[in-house]
Amino acid sequence: MFGTFILLAGCQEETNNGTVESETEIGTPEEQIANLQEDFNEIISETETEYGKLVFYSLENEEKAKGVGLAVFNEEDGTWVYSEGTAHLVSASSESEAFSSDRIEINDETKVVYGYRHESPNSEIQEVESEDLVDNALVLEESVISYTFVSPNETVTISKNN
């Protein structure tokens, strides 16, 4: 998991009247994730929701472990700013784990739960409405990252669709 801080680089800009103003450069969502997550590889997909922009991205470390991360961005003055995120890697030699999942508590009333199958490349994402969960299970398809929004006290299990 990576921290909940944003690396901000400050610079100064001279205005027309000769005074100097401080300006903060935040960067694109991709740049913000890369600054926070050393194993960042590339953005898989992103989608805007009522809770902000969800950005799913791939990870790979030097030991060839791979994984998926999720970063939540909020819009501030027309710029998407990192709010929080989570990520994990699955060992390249892991054969016992068919899928991986994680969650982020967005606020006191909502959390986002997501899962993916690590043995297949993840090329798209899909939202599963909470009322479409069967027995509170999020069923994972090959090559698709699935996510759902539920209340923080709900337990969502993750299962693989064969």
At 65-100, the pLDDT tens digits run: 888 999 999 999 999 999 999 988 887 665 545 578
In the predicted model, what is the mean pLDDT of residues 42-57?
95
How high is the pLDDT of residue 91? Answer: 75
Side-chain-facing half-sphere of 148: CA atoms under 13 Å? 22
Q: Model's pTM, two decimal places? A: 0.79
HEC profile for 21-44?
Answer: EEEEECCCHHHHHHHHCCCEEEEE
pLDDT band for 20, please (50, 70, 90 cuts): very low
- Residue type present at position 38: E
What is d(CA 40, CA 34) in angstroms, rounded to the nearest whole number? 6
What is d(CA 64, CA 83) in angstroms, rounded to the nearest whole number? 28
Q: Is 90 exceeded by the pLDDT of residue 17?
A: no
Query: Phi and psi (nearest 5°) for 32?
Result: -65, -45
pLDDT band for 128, please (50, 70, 90 cuts): very high
Query: Between 147 and 162, whose confidence is greater?
Result: 147
